[in-house]
């Protein structure tokens, strides 16, 4: 999972994509990059590096940018080499944005995973004589686009040509992905995979008089595309809409917006938005597919409380306090506490400078993070039955250690509630758990998971409770039920190569 943003119209586009990235930092902490294009000088400006956004971009580096069109990316690595100084060069090669010079000059960023990346790599090398230099699946996408446009570049550029080139990508690339890109001197583009697995939102605003004066060739508006609506809200853009599954969008140099949604509609491909956006990844301020993330999490807590109440009525558990595991579960825990009428207590104190342990990309780094991440207030825990609430249980690393910590602080009994049903299957579409051996619930019953974690009782929100909370039937829940909407037959090679890179 990554965060992407593109801005076109304002002469300060590079500043806005930087600020937009800061609002999307929760989506990835490995690396960041910005690419801008200046219509006046016809120049690209580009910088990317490993690290947090604020560390990568100093004021001096940002001062070197100019241009009315920019794209940016914050990376959450699901492929490529593991942590360590000897792998830094290889890791830098995979940082986005990526560029290719022909035709037109193309820059792209993306969020998601291409399951059949290695098949595409072989196809590009053997049939198109295009050799890839990174382990990023975006490089395969940008080469597919370059090849598709090259075949049609002998005549004047048109949206119809562009649309056919992107549809060629849809035919070949299997996975979940949202893409934002730019064509030098032509415009900004975006497209979303045919099932709509990964989010992408379009916004617009009027230019200020200052912006118009700074760029006399303006078209009166500025457009933005971003992974989440919170970036649009902060930058003062009005949300126009979510891009539809399989939508191809292009904004030309006069500000005219072209769009096509024919691919998914003609092929009758059902939408399958990733449920994990509402569970964990998205900022609670964001609205995705017209559904507030904050409201969905309130409903997670309320519906989970209804299921827990049955256990309380049967005398199987008797919680004295409800305790959230920071940060994502806080909203659901408040709602659960209110519904059950059990006191809510924040007795696990988080070190705010520790990265989110789930999106760290090695087990060793996750273990270190858990040790530093939280401390327990023993005086509020001692002698009580504690109901811990978390957004999900993936590997169980954090959950197991926190349960130990709460028991060490003197809890009489510790119950653990998850606002997500058991994650039993790998994700190949951009969430970093593609290996079933890493999943604590993959081959265990609920009781066996509880025993492994050390919990006196483990309660998962039901699948129906999740669907009811999000308010949508059109969800990808493959990690829960094994129903993969996109072909994952190439996943074995993907998993083998990922494991090789991280040994």
The whole-number pLDDT of residue 91 equals 82
497 three-class SS: helix
Q: Given this model, what pLDDT does residue 352 score?
A: 72
2 labelled catalytic: yes
Cα separation of 197 and 487, whole Å?
A: 13
Structure confidence at residue 313 (pLDDT): 98
In terms of Cβ atoms closer than 10 Å to its own Cβ (0-12, 13-18, 19+), residue 290 is exposed
Q: Where in the sequence of the chain do the CATH 3.60.20.10 domains occur? A: 3-272
CA–CA dist 19, 14 (Å, integer): 9
How many other C-beta atoms are found inside a 10 Å radius of the C-beta of residue 456?
A: 17
Segments of the chain assigned to CATH 3.40.50.2020: 292-484
To the nearest 10°, report the CA torsion of 208, 211, 216, 217. -90
Element (H, E) at 38: strand 31-38
- The pLDDT assigned to 366 comes to 58
The rounded distance, in Å, linking the Cα atoms of 206 and 238 is: 10
Cis amide prior to 103 (ω within 30 degrees): yes
Architecture of domain 3-272: 4-Layer Sandwich (3.60)
Give this prediction's pTM: 0.93
Query: Which residue in the block uniquely carries the two structure tokens 């570049």?
Result: 153
Q: At what angle do helices 397-408 and 363-373 cross, to 10 degrees?
A: 30
- In CATH terms, 292-484 corresponds, of 3.90.660.10, 3.40.50.11540, 3.40.50.2020, 3.30.70.260, to 3.40.50.2020
Q: Which of 2, 274, 420, 427 is catalytic?
A: 2
Name residues of the chain where pLDDT drops below 70: 79-89, 153-155, 353-371, 498-503
């Amino acid at each position: 999972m990554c965060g992407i943003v593109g801005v076109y119209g304002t002469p300060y586009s590079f500043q806005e994509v930087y600020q937009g990235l800061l609002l999307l930092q929760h989506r990835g902490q490995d690396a960041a990059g910005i690419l801008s294009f200046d219509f006046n000088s016809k120049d690209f400006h580009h910088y990317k590096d490993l690290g947090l956004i604020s560390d990568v971009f100093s004021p001096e580096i940002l001062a070197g940018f100019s241009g009315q069109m920019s794209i940016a990316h914050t990376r959450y690595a699901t492929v490529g080499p593991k942590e360590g100084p000897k792998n830094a060069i290889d890791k830098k090669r995979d940082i986005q944005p990526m560029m290719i010079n022909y035709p037109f000059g193309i820059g792209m960023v993306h969020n998601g995973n291409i399951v059949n990346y290695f098949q595409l790599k072989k196809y590009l090398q053997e049939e198109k004589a295009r050799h890839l230099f990174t382990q990023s699946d975006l490089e395969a996408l940008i080469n597919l686009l370059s090849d598709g446009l090259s075949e049609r570049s002998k005549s004047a550029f048109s949206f119809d040509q562009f649309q056919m080139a992107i549809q060629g990508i849809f035919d070949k690339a299997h996975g979940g992905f949202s893409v934002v890109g730019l064509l030098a001197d032509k415009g900004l583009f975006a497209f979303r995979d045919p099932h709509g697995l990964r989010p992408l939102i379009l916004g617009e605003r009027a230019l200020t008089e200052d912006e118009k004066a700074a760029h006399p060739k303006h078209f009166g508006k500025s457009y933005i595309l971003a992974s989440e609506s919170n970036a649009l809200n902060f930058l003062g853009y009005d949300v126009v809409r979510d891009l539809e599954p399989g939508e191809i969008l292009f904004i030309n140099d006069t500000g005219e917006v072209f769009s096509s949604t024919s691919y998914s509609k003609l092929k009758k491909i059902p939408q399958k938005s990733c449920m994990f956006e509402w569970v964990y990844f998205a900022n609670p301020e964001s609205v995705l597919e017209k559904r507030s993330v904050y409201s969905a999490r309130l409903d997670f807590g309320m519906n989970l409380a209804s299921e827990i109440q049955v256990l309380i009525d049967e005398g199987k558990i008797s919680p004295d306090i409800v305790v959230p595991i920071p940060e994502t579960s806080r909203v659901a825990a408040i709602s659960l506490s209110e519904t059950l009428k059990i006191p809510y207590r924040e007795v696990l104190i988080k070190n705010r400078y520790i990265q989110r342990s789930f999106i760290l990309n090695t087990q060793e780094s996750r273990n270190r993070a858990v040790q530093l991440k939280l401390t327990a207030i023993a005086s509020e825990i001692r002698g009580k039955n504690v109901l811990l609430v978390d957004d999900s249980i993936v590997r169980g690393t954090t959950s197991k250690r926190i349960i130990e910590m709460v028991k060490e602080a003197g809890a009489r009994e510790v119950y653990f509630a998850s606002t997500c049903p058991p994650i039993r299957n790998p994700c190949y579409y951009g969430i970093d758990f593609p290996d079933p051996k890493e999943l604590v619930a993959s081959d265990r019953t609920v009781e066996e998971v509880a025993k492994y974690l050390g919990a006196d009782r483990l309660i998962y929100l039901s699948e129906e409770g999740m669907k009811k909370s999000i308010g949508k039937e059109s969800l990808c829940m493959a990690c829960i039920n094994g129903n993969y909407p996109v072909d994952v037959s190439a996943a074995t090679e993907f998993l083998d190569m990922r494991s090789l890179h991280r040994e």
